[in-house]
Amino acid sequence: MSRMGSQTFVYDRPPAIAAHRSIAGPKEGKGPLAAWFDTVLEDDILGQKSWELAEMEMVRRCVQAALNEAHVTDEQAQAMLGGDLNNQIIASSFAARALGVPFIGLYGACSTFVQALVIGSALICGGFLDNAVCVASSHYCTAERQFRFPLELGSQRPPQASWTATACGCALLSNEDRGGLRVTSGTVGRIIDLNISDANHMGAAMAPAVFDCIAAHMADTGRTADDYDLIATGDLGWIGRDLLLELASAADMPLPPDRLIDCGASLFYQEQDAHAGGSGCGCVASVACGWLMKRLEAGDIRRLLLVGSGAMFSPTSSQQAQSVPGIAYAACIERRD
Amino acid sequence: MSRMGSQTFVYDRPPAIAAHRSIAGPKEGKGPLAAWFDTVLEDDILGQKSWELAEMEMVRRCVQAALNEAHVTDEQAQAMLGGDLNNQIIASSFAARALGVPFIGLYGACSTFVQALVIGSALICGGFLDNAVCVASSHYCTAERQFRFPLELGSQRPPQASWTATACGCALLSNEDRGGLRVTSGTVGRIIDLNISDANHMGAAMAPAVFDCIAAHMADTGRTADDYDLIATGDLGWIGRDLLLELASAADMPLPPDRLIDCGASLFYQEQDAHAGGSGCGCVASVACGWLMKRLEAGDIRRLLLVGSGAMFSPTSSQQAQSVPGIAYAACIERRD
């Protein structure tokens, strides 16, 4: 309803998170967050004929579970906002086809889930929607063959590469005051590009955009990192998180290492051979919906800044020797007292 | 601000279209609308090294021209909403990188421009933004090699195929009351799929989604086609437009053929060998910004329903024998008296 600064929306009628669901793949279900996910898949194919169809089915199940949890029928669901890493976001749009819900397709690479929260919250706070499903997914096997190499090739992964999570997260926003969690503000980031041209080094490509977005959020809201119990980025991985801390210190706006986590760096044990950590639209979505929102509900944290980051490149742009531009969106999620 | 029906946003503080700009490629500049475009390109490479870079440059120039026209600096521009047909919407995101404007990446295939108008208008009407750049582009050469075959292969095009326009359109929305044009309502469509699996036959794949969206808009607003001086779809092409008329008649909600045009069917002369007509995100964007908005300003028409349609498929989904789901968004644009 109101604009506080140049990039931040403040929701003076904050939408409630009426339900949230997470699905994680088999590898993700063996990581440190295993116990937090609502569903851990036994395999990554879900009875489908292709990985792409499996990802669509994962999205459909995740959205359906969130709607069921809130006792909202497909017909009552007013909009689905989401996207994924597949070319032309087919996982999301085919899931929207199956559900029959009006669809707003978004693309912010790995930041898409937070992008959906920011836009969906604005549409609800503005009175345009009563509810909105925000969803994002990724699948290791669909992403690898699309962005890098077909898995069948058995390519060696460089140590700075992240591991695209097979995962999905979905939050149902509502204008009904249900207590619980609320989205209170959202920041739209700019595209920042410090000329990283290694498409495997996404943490480095995205860290500057994440810092730019956090700095804008703080400037717009007049807050500092001390106003947040936790800042969760997704997904910079272990390397990108270190770079973010360095960038913040260099700009004289240090971030507290003990209250800064990264979803990608939290998803896997180092021994799981995920190199720089988890990534993919589904990583921040599933970690936020599966772990962070439950921590908020438990009162372990009361105010979270969730910062989704995306690498806005394509195989074509990489082949044409372009660098990897980064973007980030931030959403403040608070527990109602 | 208010929701009238289940899929339609009614903007009770309707954003103004403060500026609009269009760029058309050389072939598009030889069609029936040649005189209406603000810029007709002499070639399709714009001095760049690749067609993708040329498309990015076309987007950048188009946005810059719209901002200049409204005397809005890059720093004053609060958000850019847009997308394109390239994998991972690189034309839009790289243009946003060059401009430094906060970016909301959208993907609605050829409907993206209208999707941007619908979301951008909501963000302005809701008080979240003072202005927003809505933009979409397409380029014949980038789209062919991505969705069908590399041009170098010299593949024969089937008669039902449409011709992806090399074009860009940009509208700058503003909360300042400037007279002129305003966006008064917007409808978010559902994904509709009647099982067309010919990825060349996009008019047939999209016509049912267009009809569904128009029917929802009319039901939500209590209007009929008689309330509109013109309904402009984009882009069904000649075949899809006929199918839309048939679907509407069969549903006992006939559309007036003399007040129903299709942007794709208007872009080329039949002799230009564009087969089913123009398509691509840039088609409806450039025709709306170049021709239709100028007709509204001239008073030739006073109330326009602009209906963007998109085929939400990818080469991967086609190779996996999936059908082509369609979507549509509608925006009502009116001339202020």
pLDDT in tens, A193-211: 999 988 888 899 999 999 9
Indicate the residue among A154, A174, A194 that finishes a domain: A174
Q: Do A88 and B109 touch (CB under 8 A)?
A: yes
pLDDT at A132: 98
Q: Are residues B257 and B212 in the same domain?
A: yes
Residue A6 lies in a domain: no
In this model, does residue B331 exceed pLDDT 90? yes
Percent of chain A with pLDDT over 70: 99
Q: What is the pLDDT of residues B114-146, one digit of tens each?
A: 999 999 999 999 999 999 999 999 999 999 988
Q: Are residues B117 and B241 in the same domain?
A: no
B45 in contact with A, Cβ within 8 Å: no
In this model, does residue B1 exceed pLDDT 50? no
Strands (E), chain A: 2-3, 8-10, 16-24, 39-40, 80-84, 103-105, 131-138, 163-164, 167-174, 181-188, 230-234, 260-262, 278-279, 303-311, 326-335
Of B3, B108, B316, the CB nearest to A90: B316
B257 in contact with A, Cβ within 8 Å: no
Q: Are residues A111 and A244 in the same domain?
A: no
Q: What is the pLDDT of residues B236-280, one digit of tens each?
A: 999 999 999 999 999 999 999 999 999 999 999 999 999 999 999
Q: Are residues A213 and A88 in the same domain?
A: no
Of A90, A101, A322, the CB nearest to B190: A101
pLDDT at A5: 53
Residue A8 lies in a domain: no
Q: Are residues B57 and B100 in the same domain?
A: yes
Average pLDDT over residues B37-50: 98
A104 SS3 class: strand
Residue A49 lies in a domain: yes
Classify burial at B223, counting beta carbons within 10 Å of its beta carbon; exposed 0-12, middle 13-18, buried 19 or more.
Answer: middle
In this model, does residue A2 exceed pLDDT 80? no
Closest among A81, A210, A193, A202 to A137, alpha carbons compared: A81
Q: Are residues B204 and B253 in the same domain?
A: yes
Do A174 and A124 contact (CB within 8 A), yes or no? Answer: yes
Q: What is the pLDDT of residues A115-135, one digit of tens each?
A: 999 999 999 999 999 999 999
pLDDT at A103: 98
In this model, does residue B304 exceed pLDDT 80? yes
Residue A227 lies in a domain: yes
Surface of A (284-323) touching B: CB under 8 A? 312-317, 320, 322
Cα end-to-end distance, chain A, whole Å: 22
Q: Are residues A127 and A215 in the same domain?
A: no
pLDDT at B337: 73
Q: What is the pLDDT of residues B181-235, one digit of tens each?
A: 999 999 999 999 999 988 888 899 999 999 999 999 999 999 999 999 999 999 9
Closest among A205, A15, A22 to A122, alpha carbons compared: A15
Which of B93, B111, B114, B192 has the most A C-beta neighbours within 10 Å, making it the best mutation to test the interface with A? Answer: B93
Work out the minimum CA distance from A73 to partner chain B, whole angstroms: 14
Q: What is the pLDDT of residues B283-302, one digit of tens each?
A: 999 999 999 999 999 999 99
pTM confidence score? 0.97
Contacts of A217 (CB under 8 A, 6+ apart): A7, A8, A185, A187, A223, A305, A330, A332
Indicate the residue among B174, B207, B235 that finishes a domain: B174
Residue A1 lies in a domain: no
Give the structural domain span for A69.
13-174
Surface of A (193-212) touching B: CB under 8 A? 193
In whole numbers, what is the pLDDT of chain A averaged over residues? 95
Better-scored residue on pLDDT, B160 or B56: B56
Residues of A with Cβ-Cβ distance to B3 under 8 angstroms: 127-130
Q: Are residues A26 and A168 in the same domain?
A: yes
Residues of A with Cβ-Cβ distance to B89 under 8 angstroms: 107, 312
Which residue type occupies A98? A
Classify burial at A195, counting beta carbons within 10 Å of its beta carbon; exposed 0-12, middle 13-18, buried 19 or more.
Answer: exposed
In this model, does residue B2 exceed pLDDT 50? no
Q: What is the pLDDT of residues A316-327, one digit of tens each?
A: 999 999 999 999
Q: Are residues B152 and B219 in the same domain?
A: no
Indicate the residue among A174, A202, A234 that finishes a domain: A174
Q: Do B127 and A6 touch (CB under 8 A)?
A: no
Residue A254 lies in a domain: yes
Q: Are residues B15 and B164 in the same domain?
A: yes
A324 in contact with B, Cβ within 8 Å: no
Which residue type occupies B20? H
Residue A226 lies in a domain: yes
Surface of A (50-109) touching B: CB under 8 A? 50, 52-53, 78-79, 83, 85-90, 93-94, 96-97, 100-109
Residues of A with Cβ-Cβ distance to B317 under 8 angstroms: 52, 88, 90, 94
**The total number of structural domains that make up chain B:** 2
Classify burial at A23, counting beta carbons within 10 Å of its beta carbon; exposed 0-12, middle 13-18, buried 19 or more.
Answer: buried
Residues of A with Cβ-Cβ distance to B322 under 8 angstroms: 53, 90, 94
A45 in contact with B, Cβ within 8 Å: no
In whole numbers, what is the pLDDT of chain B averaged over residues? 95
Closest-approach residue (CA) in chain B for A80: B190
In CATH, what number is assigned to the domain containing residue A271? 3.40.47.40
Q: Are residues B134 and B247 in the same domain?
A: no
How much is the ipTM here?
A: 0.97
pLDDT at A92: 97
In this model, does residue A59 exceed pLDDT 50? yes
Average pLDDT over residues A233-261: 96
Residue A4 lies in a domain: no
A5 in contact with B, Cβ within 8 Å: no
pLDDT at B179: 75
Closest-approach residue (CA) in chain A for B188: A102
Closest among B146, B201, B108 to A89, alpha carbons compared: B108
Q: Are residues B139 and B25 in the same domain?
A: yes
Of B49, B123, B314, the CB nearest to A88: B314
In this model, does residue A269 exceed pLDDT 50? yes
Contacts of B311 (CB under 8 A, 6+ apart): B109, B110, B199, B202, B205, B206, B324, B325, B326
